[in-house]
Amino acid sequence: MGSLALVLLFSVLNAAVLCSAGITSNFVRVQASIDMPLNSDVFAVPPGYNAPQQVHITQGDHDGKAMIVSWITTEEPGSSKVVYWAENSKTTKEAEGIVTQYKYYNYTSGHIHHCTIRRLQPDTKYYYTVGIGNTTRTFWFHNSPAIGPDVPYTFGLIGDLGQTYDSNKTLTHYQNNPVKGQALLYVGDLSYADDYPYHDNRRWDTWGRFVERSVAYQPWIWASGNHEIDFDQEIGETDTFKPYLHRYRTPFKASGSTSPLWYSVRRASAHIIVLSSYSEYGKYTPQYYWLQNELQKVNRTETPWLIALMHAPWYNSNYYHYMEGETMRVMYESWFVQYRVDVVFAGHVHAYERCKRFSNIAYNITNGLCSPVKDLSAPVYITIGDGGNIEGPANNLTYPQPAYSAYREASFGHGILDIKNKTHAYFGWHRNQDAYAVEADSMWLLNRYWSHADDSIPAES
């Protein structure tokens, strides 16, 4: 064997443990994750009396022709109006929103504004202004292109972010990635305020100011996680999801949902289904009926890429949160195979894992067929709950590595899903410790509607 071949072999073996099932990375991230202090510069309150803060946007309808703009004022309600205009246009438009407020134990929120701006033109840059008087603030976003099967589009992926120094690295890494996400798919667990005594809701405010630098300029598509439940009977807080539902709106009614916790949106060439891991999902429940109907309505000739978001992963080879998504998997996995969902993104486990196309839908109690098997009609399952929160990385992996697991690593990072056309998309996972352009793991996804070929081979670097 030549010297060059020996060097390459040593590099591969030094980088990862190779199993018959897949790759378990040897990269170890052991430092504790520490929340940034309340006076950190990334939590700074914008200057000016009653200045709008925690500005964020999300898609405001089913097809990307509207945007929900949200923000908070602290001293008084002020105005809920949004003034907006297309780039290079001399005409401004206005939309009037609503204002709400909530109390949680000994905390009273600021005045929370939500305003939907509609009839947006596709593939157009818009500016928008919130606030009144001398404390207005102006931001911009680029609206989604029109729905179409070959429309390219790039999504960012982050989950379980929190507000630690590592969280800041993750968000910075995402923003500096040379492949720019146009919208972000967020798979749950936002502020981790509930890790503090009495669910210190000031940490919802700091988180909102922290992520504003991204989410005020591109829509984040929200899925809820267990840290959004905020149920604490000991302090009299029994209304679940109270802070989250007051602060973060979704366009759930546009997809026929009865709850903001599960819904769908279409964006460019993608149909995105958001599920709630912590709402009722058994047979005869609203979420069950909604998903059953929603999957039947997906038009793959218009939006060939069918993507699902949830918090608790169905396939997870980490002892942390092991099998917590199992009951939802049993309920819905056969539908995902039947309708050929392309990829499922989840969080919850504070690590990264990419699975092959496997399914486990043959078991009927008596037949003994209870092991996952290769299934090219099944989605690729990706766990990306590695945003960097205060609870640290999940580094207790199961061995041997299961056959369904392609790559796994207990460190922090973000993902990029780059849809090229109706048949091909490229996914890359970026570790925080690497250079911005470096992908620690990647693969080409072949669309399940247009191709049944095996795409489980990792992408070439």
Residues with Cβ < 8 Å from 232, sequence gap 6 or more? 105, 194, 198, 199
Give the neighbor-by-neighbor strand order of the sheet with 137-142. 93-96, 81-86, 125-130, 137-142
321 in catalytic set: yes
Comparing C-alpha atoms, which of 151, 137, 129 is closest to residue 64? Answer: 151
Q: How far, in Å, CA of 167 to CA of 161, rounded?
A: 6
Catalytic residue among 62, 111, 113, 321, which? 321
Measured CA to CA, the distance from residue 328 to residue 383 in angstroms comes to 16
Pairing status of strand 270-274 against strand 263-267: antiparallel
Write the secondary structure of 18-64 as one string of H (helix), E (strand) and C (coil). Answer: ECCCCEEECCCCCCCCCECCCCCHHHCCCCCCCCCEEEEEEECCCCC
CA separation for the pair 181, 174 (Å, rounded)? 8
Distance CA 390, CA 144 (A): 34
**What is the Cα gyration radius of the chain?**
22
Residues marked as catalytic: 321
